Structure 1
Amino acid sequence: MFEVRTPRTGKARRALEKRAPKLVETGKKTLILHGTKTSGVLNAVLTEIFHMKKGSAVKFSRKNENIKPFESGGETSLEFFLNRTDCSIFVFGSQLKKRPDNLVIGRAYDHHIYDLVEVGVENFKPMESFKYDKKLASQIGSKPLIAFIGEGFENVEELKHLKEVLLDLLRGEVIENLNLVGVDRAYVCTAISSNMVFLSHCGLRLKKSGTKVPRMELEEVGPSMDLVVRRHRLPNDSLQEEAMKTTREKPKKKVKNVSKDTIEGKIGKIYMPDQKVGDVALPNIAKGVKRERREAKLKNGEDRHASKKLKENST
C-alpha cells in the first residue's frame, strides 16, 4: 500500500490535482522498461518507440528482474514505477528462450494493471535503413493518422484487443479540432493472419490537388516490424466496470418564460408591471403649474382672512 500524504503547499496541491482523475483525460504517458535479458533487436525496438513517443514517454535504462506482468506477484514493482512516473501505458521488453524478442504492452487504471498484450517482434527494420527526405521526419506534438487494414481487427478477439492497445499507445493526446499542417505521419497496421500484424510508420507528403484539400502521399520512414500475438489478458469485470464509470451530466436549469419553436426559434415572454402614471414624479415642473400653485395659495390666504373677520364680527 502507498502512503497517502496531504499536500502542505500550493505547488504540491496543484501537482496532485493535475494527477487526479478527470472527466476528459489528456494524453497518456508511456513507460518503457527492460527485462533481465534483452537482445539487440529488442533494444532497438524500445529506442524507436521512445523516439516516436518523445515528449510523452519515460524510458528506464536499467534491467528489472522483478517485473513479470503475466505472473501473480510480478506486477508490484511495475505498479510502483507507474505510480512514481504517473504513466498509464507501459512497454516491457524481455528475452527468453521460449519467447525471443518478447514485447509486453499494457495499460493501467489508477496505477494498477488493467490489461496486457504480449507480442513477438519479427522482421524489424529501424529508421536508419530507410532513405527519405528529412523534411518528412515527424515533429514533437504532431498528430498521427492510424489505419487498421483487415477483417481480423473486427472478427478475431486477440487482434481486436491489440487494436485497442495500439490506439492508446500511438494516438497521443485526444483533441477536438485538427489542422492539416499538424498531421505529418501515419501508422499503418495490416492484419496478415489471425495472430500476425504488420506495423509500418509512414510520412505524409502534401501535394497540390487543384482544390483547397491537398493530395496526400505516403512514404515509409520506418520503423517497421511484424507483431505476432502470443498471449493477452483482458481486464477483470470489477476493474473494467470501475474504469468505465462516467459522471452524469448535470441537468440544465429550466429557464422560465422561454420556449423554442421550429419556425420562430427561441421565443421569450416578458411581463410588464402595471404603469401607475399618477404616481410618477415629473422631472421638470412647468411654469403654468407654478402659476396655478401661486393662485391657489393666494386664494387660500384670502379665504383665511375672510373667515377670521367673520369670527370677529360674530363675537
Structure 2
Amino acid sequence: MDGVVKPKTRQSKRFLESRAPKLTENVKNAMIMKGGNTSQVVSQTLKNIYSLKKPTALLYKKKNITRPFEDSTSMEFFSKKTDCSLFLFGSHNKKRPNNLIFGRLFDFHVLDMIELGIEKYMSLSDVKGKTCPEGTKPMLVFAGDSFNTDNEYKRLKSLLIDFFRGPTVSAVRLAGLEHVLHFTALDGKIYMRSYRCLLKMSGCRTPRIELEEIGPSLDLVLRRTHLASDDLYKLAHKQPKALKPKKKKNISHDVFGTKFGRVHMQPQDLTKLQTRKMKGLRKRKGEAMADEGKKAKIVNGQS
C-alpha cells in the first residue's frame, strides 16, 4: 500500500487513469530518437519513418548518448515518461554505420530489440508525386520464407507489425486502402518499400489497382538481436479473461464459417395438434358415429 500513488487534484487523477491498465489498451505510441553520433542518412530515415507513424509517434530532436544493447535503462525511463511502448533508435559509428534499432517494451521493460543496418536508402523527397496523407493506416505485406521459418525473422515480423499497424478499426472504406508497406526477406537482407495504391477504371464495379512507389525505400541487413524468452514472450501476449469470447453451447461452425445451432425439443403428440378447421374436412354425423363405434370395439377387445 505504500507504493500506491493517490491523486491530489482532478488533473492528476485523470493522468493516473489514462496510465492505468485497461482491458482494451490504447494505440501503441512510438518514440523516435537519435544517438550521440548520427549520419545524414540516419537522420533523414528517422524523419521519414516519423512521417509514416504520425500522429502516434514522438520525435526527439536532441541527441541521446546511450547504447540500448549495453544499457537499456534510459530507454525504459523515456518510455515510462512518455507512455510509449515502441521505440526506434538511430546511430552511426565506424563499426556499425547507419544503424537502426527497432524495439518494444512490456511493463516499461525492454522485451525485444533488433538492430538493422542501412545499406541503401531513398527518402520521400527523392520521389516526385503525391504522398499518402498523415495518419493513413497502411497495409503490411511480408514476402520471403525466412519470415515463417527463422526465429529471428519471425520476431522481426511481429515487431514491424506492432510498429506500423496503426489503430485497430472495425471497417475500412475502399478509398482508404491507399498505402502499402512491403517487406521482402531475400539472401540475408530485408527490403522495405512503400507504395501508394491507385484505383483505376476497370469497366466493372471492382477497380483495377496499380502501385506507385512513394518512399521511403530501405535495403536493410540484420545485425544484433535481443529477444525475450519464450515464457516472457507468452506472458506479454496473454489476454485478460474478460476479452476471451465465451463459448456458447450447441453452436458450431464448419470449415466455411457457416453457423449451425442444435435445438433440443421434447417429444410431441401430433394427434392433439390443432389444425385449421375447414367446412370441407368436417365429418358427417354418420361418419362420426361410425368412428366412435370402432373406437368402442377396440377398447372392449383390449379389455
Quickly name the TM-score band, shorter chain normalised.
0.7 to 0.9
Specify the code of the residue in structure 1 equivalent to 2:228: P
Deviation for aligned residue 1:176: 2.4
Specify the code of the residue in structure 1 equivalent to 2:64: N
Contact 2:120 2:220 in 1 (8 A): no
Contact 2:19 2:83 in 1 (8 A): yes
3-state SS of paired residue (1:43): helix
- Matching of residues 44-193 of structure 1 within 5 Å: 44-65=44-65, 67-71=66-70, 74-132=71-129, 134=130, 137-193=131-187
The answer to which of 6-15 and 169-178 deviates more is 6-15
Specify the code of the residue in structure 2 equivalent to 1:81: F
Deviation for aligned residue 1:199: 0.3
Deviation for aligned residue 1:151: 1.2
Contact 1:93 1:104 in 2 (8 A): yes
Contact 1:119 1:228 in 2 (8 A): yes
Q: Aligned pair in 2 of structure 1 residues 188, 251: CA closer, same or farther (>3 Å)?
A: closer
Deviation for aligned residue 1:127: 1.1
Q: 1:41 maps to which residue?
A: 41
Counterparts of 2:54 and 2:61, CA distance in 1: 15
TM-score of the superposition, structure 2-length normalised? 0.76
Deviation for aligned residue 1:237: 4.2
Contact 2:100 2:116 in 1 (8 A): yes
Counterparts of 1:4 and 1:179, CA distance in 2: 45
Specify the code of the residue in structure 1 equivalent to 2:120: N
Counterparts of 2:99 and 2:190, CA distance in 1: 15
1:230 paired to 2:229: no
Counterparts of 1:266 and 1:177, CA distance in 2: 37
Q: Aligned pair in 2 of structure 1 residues 265, 216: CA closer, same or farther (>3 Å)?
A: farther
The answer to which of 159-168 and 239-248 deviates more is 239-248
Any gaps of 5 or more consecutive residues in structure 1? 268-315
Specify the code of the residue in structure 2 equivalent to 1:204: C
Q: 2:20 maps to which residue?
A: 20
1:210 paired to 2:203: yes
TM-score of the superposition, structure 1-length normalised? 0.74
Specify the code of the residue in structure 2 equivalent to 1:247: P
3-state SS of paired residue (1:222): coil
Specify the code of the residue in structure 2 equivalent to 1:211: C
Contact 1:26 1:174 in 2 (8 A): no
Deviation for aligned residue 1:238: 4.7
Deviation for aligned residue 1:192: 1.9
Deviation for aligned residue 1:121: 0.7
Counterparts of 2:42 and 2:75, CA distance in 1: 19
Q: Aligned pair in 2 of structure 1 residues 145, 264: CA closer, same or farther (>3 Å)?
A: closer
Instruction: Return structure 1 stretches of 4+ with deviation > 4 angstroms.
Output: 262-267
C-alpha RMSD of the superposition: 2.8
Deviation for aligned residue 1:138: 1.3
Deviation for aligned residue 1:9: 2.9
Counterparts of 1:263 and 1:128, CA distance in 2: 57
User: How many equivalent pairs are there?
Assistant: 256
* 1:96-130 CA-partner distances (Å, limit 9, x unpaired): 21100111000011111111000001110111111
3-state SS of paired residue (1:166): helix
Decide which structure has the larger Cα Rg and report it: 1
Q: Aligned pair in 2 of structure 1 residues 35, 162: CA closer, same or farther (>3 Å)?
A: same
